[in-house]
Amino acid sequence: MATRYKLIMTLAAVALSTIFFASCATTPVEKPQALRHNQITMEDPAPALLAYQGKTPGEQEKIARSYEQQPPLIPHKIDGYRIDFKVNRCLECHDRPFYKEEQAPKIGDSHYRDREGKELTQIWMGRYNCNQCHVPQTDAPPLVSNTFQSIKTGN
C-alpha cells in the first residue's frame, strides 16, 4: 500500500510541476544553433572526406608555424607511411643518419632527450608516434569564424 501511495504522490508532483513550468514558458526562446546541424536524437552524419593537401616529400613548401613550440605541420602526403613497433617510415627520412641524404628537415634535438632531459643516441620512444603531434592538413573551412593570427616571425 505504502508503495502505491508513494507512486501516486510522485505522479501528482510531476504533473503539477509540468503544469507550472509550461505556464512559465510564454516567451519563445531562440534555439541555439548547434555545430552538428542535427537533432540530438538523430545519428550524426559522417563528415565529408577531405583529401589531404601536399604531395611527394621533397616538393612541398614548409607550412608557417602559428605559434612558438608548435609541432610543425606536415606539408607532404603521408599515405602508406607506416609507424608500428617494427618500422617507422618517418624516421627513415627525418632521423639523424638519413636526413642529409633525403634532404629532409632534421628532427629537433628535443626528440633525442628523455623526459628527465638525458641525451639519447636514438629518438626517445615518447616521440616515436610522430602523428600524435605532427599532422597533415586539409583545406577545411573553420567551424567557427575567428580572428586568430599566426606569429609573424619564426619559420
Smallest separation (angstroms) from ligand HEC to the CB of 47: 22
Nearer to ligand HEC, 44 or 109 (CB): 109
Smallest separation (angstroms) from ligand HEC to the CB of 45: 29
Nearer to ligand HEC, 37 or 86 (CB): 86
Nearer to ligand HEC, 53 or 134 (CB): 134
Distances in whole angstroms, Cα of residue 76 to Cα of each of 26, 81, 95, 134, 154: 57, 11, 17, 11, 20
- Residues making contact with ligand HEC (CB under 6 A): 57-60, 62, 69, 71-72, 74-76, 78, 81, 88-94, 102-105, 107-108, 110-111, 123, 127-134
User: Is 24 known as a binding-site position?
Assistant: no
Q: For the chain, where are the E strands, in sequence order?
A: none
The label of the residue with cell 609573424 reads 152
Distances in whole angstroms, Cα of residue 18 to Cα of each of 6, 11, 85, 86: 18, 11, 59, 62
Smallest separation (angstroms) from ligand HEC to the CB of 148: 19
